[in-house]
């Protein structure tokens, strides 16, 4: 694989099982990134910071972009496939969903930092959807987020592969099979699941 084709993105609306699936891929030995939005919210809440989606969505988007760019750089240091819990186009999708302009430098980042041309997208799934301290969106917003990511990734030339609704194991096997990978393709050193993730 050329460098960017080993970067596999999982996107979709909140509460659709995406991060649970990534945890399963990490358990199988694959390097996985940490979702920018959730981590930034946790960090900003801890210090009463301003970069929160309900305080300053534009600043929140800038923070997410920086996080995703660092995740991309760290993924380049990995010798094998890396799975991304969202990516740079998600930041643009977020701005579009929020009705905010997309700055030229974000457009440039989405064009420059490329991933595997096939992107996995988790569809809305009401039976597993839930809210928590970081995930304040309701189910309707989860559906709108899904549609925004679908359109944004297509606009940047990616093919969207819909994840089936099924068990975590079924989803993991689907992703690995579709990506042309197997457990034998994973990095097996002890830090493989976190090495591509900024902390």
Q: What is the pLDDT along the chain (199 residues), one digit of tens a residue?
A: 558 999 999 999 877 788 889 999 999 999 999 999 989 999 999 999 999 999 999 999 999 999 999 999 999 999 999 999 999 999 999 999 999 999 999 999 999 999 999 999 998 867 666 655 555 667 677 789 899 999 999 999 999 999 998 889 999 999 999 999 976 555 543 333 344 544 3
**Domain range for 114:** 4-185
User: Is residue 126 domain-resident?
Assistant: yes
Find all residues with CB under 8 Å of 71, minimum gap 6, and list them: 33, 34, 36, 84, 87, 196, 197, 198
Cα 191 vs. chain centroid, distance in angstroms?
Answer: 20
Helix (H, G, I), strand (E, B) or coil at 160: strand
Helix locations, the chain, DSSP H: 18-27, 36-46, 57-75, 88-97, 104-112, 139-155, 168-179
Report if residue 61 sits inside a domain: yes
Identify the CATH number of the domain in which residue 130 sits: 3.40.50.300
């Amino acid at each position: 694989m050329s460098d960017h084709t080993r970067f596999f993105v999982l996107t979709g609306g909140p509460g659709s099982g995406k991060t649970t699936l990534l945890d399963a891929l990490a358990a199988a030995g694959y390097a996985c990134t940490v979702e920018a939005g959730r981590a930034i919210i946790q960090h900003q809440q801890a210090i009463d910071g301003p970069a929160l989606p309900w305080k300053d969505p534009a600043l929140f988007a800038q923070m997410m972009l920086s996080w995703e760019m660092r995740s991309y750089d760290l993924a380049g240091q990995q010798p094998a496939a890396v799975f991304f819990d969202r990516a740079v186009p998600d930041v643009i999708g977020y701005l579009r969903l929020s009705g905010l302009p997309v700055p030229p430098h974000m457009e440039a980042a989405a064009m420059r930092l490329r991933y595997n041309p096939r992107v996995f997208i988790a569809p809305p799934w009401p039976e597993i959807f839930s809210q928590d301290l970081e995930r304040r969106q309701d189910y309707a917003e989860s559906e709108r987020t899904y549609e925004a990511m679908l359109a944004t990734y297509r606009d940047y030339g990616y093919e969207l592969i819909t994840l089936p609704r099924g068990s975590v194991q079924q989803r993991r096997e689907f992703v690995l099979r579709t990506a042309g990978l197997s457990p034998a393709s994973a990095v097996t050193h002890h830090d493989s699941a976190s090495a591509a993730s900024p902390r």
